[in-house]
Amino acid sequence: MGGAGAAIILAGGWVFTVVTCLVVYQASQEFYGFVTSKGISAGMMPPPPLVSALTSAMCIGITVWTYLSNGSITAALAVASFAVLSLQLLAVEKPRFSQMTSSVFGLFYCGYLPSFWVKLRVLAVPALNSTAVHKWPVALGGLTHWTVGLLATFMSVACVVAADTGAYAFGKTLGRTQLTSISPKKTVEGAFGGLLCSTAVALGFWRVLAWPAHPALAASLGVLVFLASLFGDLIESVMKRDAGLKDASDFIPGHGGLLDRFDSYIFTGAIVYFVLKFVTPLFGL
């Protein structure tokens, strides 16, 4: 799976976008599995199936539009929200506020946030500061393919994997202190291990590829990715707890649902994109 993921990131373009759309579709299905579960629907009225189907379609549409428009998605989210809320007014005789909020949150969580991975991957700024990248042979893509978007996507995914692996390894061997009651198995020691591994991988990218441009930026990205990974996991844990479910689904045998594997990535793309697009230019990096 890791090799397939690396190939998809390297390919970029439509390949990366189509795979992201598949992830978005399954994530939206699992999200509405939460919303319609007995644990949550007992306290609020879930959206009707027609609205849920349109929301899933709009989530995919936001992702595709992100690629076609080279990263412009803010207006797309507004239009999608209008369409979903308007259909709810027409499809439900007496729509409830809970139905509207769950639909819009579904668009945000399953469509808008994942689309930032596409925004991140399409960043076409050449990684000219990386002297190591200059030495890669043309057969492996040459300079024109080694963009900030490619390196940032690779690094972000690698840091998430490192954060999850480090948290598991440290928590399993050294974990004694519970981190939060939201997820009882998470420990302070495990969180420290995840932070350490994520930061180490980010610094490894800087050391090997000379990207990011400064070790402090690399370390900062490693820390941010860890935090996005941790809190993304905890946010999905809240949904599962309220829904009364152990896993989001049985989509991946032995591992649960796709959201159970990708919850750490939900916010990561947006945070890394924001830092690279808006924060680092302020410091000339």
Maximum Cα interatomic distance, the chain, rounded to a whole number of Å? 64
pLDDT band at 276 (very low <50, low <70, confident <90, very high): very high
pLDDT band at 277 (very low <50, low <70, confident <90, very high): very high
Is residue 132's pLDDT more than 90? no
Is residue 135's pLDDT more than 80? no
Report yes or no: 231 and 225 within 8 Å, Cβ to Cβ.
no
Q: Which of these three, 89, 122, 155, is where a domain ends?
A: 122
Token pair belonging to 11: 């390919």
Q: Identify whether residues 5 and 65 lie together within a single domain.
A: yes
Q: Which of these three, 91, 122, 153, is where a domain ends?
A: 122
Give the C-alpha separation, 218 to 78, whole Å: 34
Q: Identify whether residues 175 and 146 lie together within a single domain.
A: yes
For residue 137, CA distances in Å to 123, 128, 140, 145, 146 come to 22, 15, 6, 11, 11
Q: Identify whether residues 155 and 47 lie together within a single domain.
A: no
Q: Which of these three, 95, 122, 149, is where a domain ends?
A: 122
Give the C-alpha separation, 206 to 151, whole Å: 10
Is residue 142's pLDDT more than 80? no
pLDDT band at 145 (very low <50, low <70, confident <90, very high): low
Q: Between these two residues, 125 and 260, which has the higher pLDDT value? A: 260
Domain count, the chain: 2
Is residue 274's pLDDT more than 80? yes
Is residue 216's pLDDT more than 70? yes
CA–CA–CA angle 121, 193, 182 (5° rounding): 85
Give the C-alpha separation, 174 to 196, whole Å: 14
Is residue 5's pLDDT more than 60? yes
For residue 260, CA distances in Å to 55, 109, 167, 284 come to 20, 14, 15, 38
Token pair belonging to 146: 């080694």
Domain that holds residue 218: 126-285
Is residue 143's pLDDT more than 70? no
Kindly report, residue by residue over 107-129, the tens digit of the pLDDT: 999 999 999 999 999 998 766 55
Q: Identify whether residues 101 and 150 lie together within a single domain.
A: no
- The structure's pTM equals 0.91
Q: What is the pLDDT of residue 126?
A: 67
Amino acid in the structure at residue 167: A
Q: Identify whether residues 150 and 276 lie together within a single domain.
A: yes
Report yes or no: 258 and 252 within 8 Å, Cβ to Cβ.
yes
Q: Identify whether residues 206 and 250 lie together within a single domain.
A: yes
Q: Identify whether residues 144 and 260 lie together within a single domain.
A: yes
Which of the 8 DSSP states describes residue 47? Answer: P
Portion of the chain with pLDDT greater than 90, in percent: 63
Q: Between these two residues, 159 and 124, which has the higher pLDDT value? A: 159
Token pair belonging to 121: 């991957």
Kindly report, residue by residue over 71-88, the tens digit of the pLDDT: 788 888 999 999 999 999
Q: Identify whether residues 51 and 181 lie together within a single domain.
A: no
Q: What is the pLDDT of residue 138?
A: 44
The beta-carbon contacts of 156-159 under 8 Å, at least 24 apart in sequence, are 156/120, 156/221, 156/225, 156/268, 156/269, 156/272, 157/5, 157/9, 157/265, 158/201, 158/205, 159/198, 159/201, 159/202, 159/221, 159/222, 159/225, 159/226, 159/229
Q: What is the pLDDT of residue 22?
A: 96
Q: Identify whether residues 238 and 156 lie together within a single domain.
A: yes
Give the C-alpha separation, 146 to 129, whole Å: 11
Side-chain-side CA neighbours of 260 within 13 Å: the count stands at 17
Q: Identify whether residues 218 and 101 lie together within a single domain.
A: no
For residue 48, CA distances in Å to 41, 102, 105, 109, 172 come to 12, 11, 15, 19, 42
Q: Identify whether residues 189 and 201 lie together within a single domain.
A: yes
Is residue 212's pLDDT more than 80? yes
Q: What is the pLDDT of residue 141?
A: 47
Q: Identify whether residues 18 and 71 lie together within a single domain.
A: yes
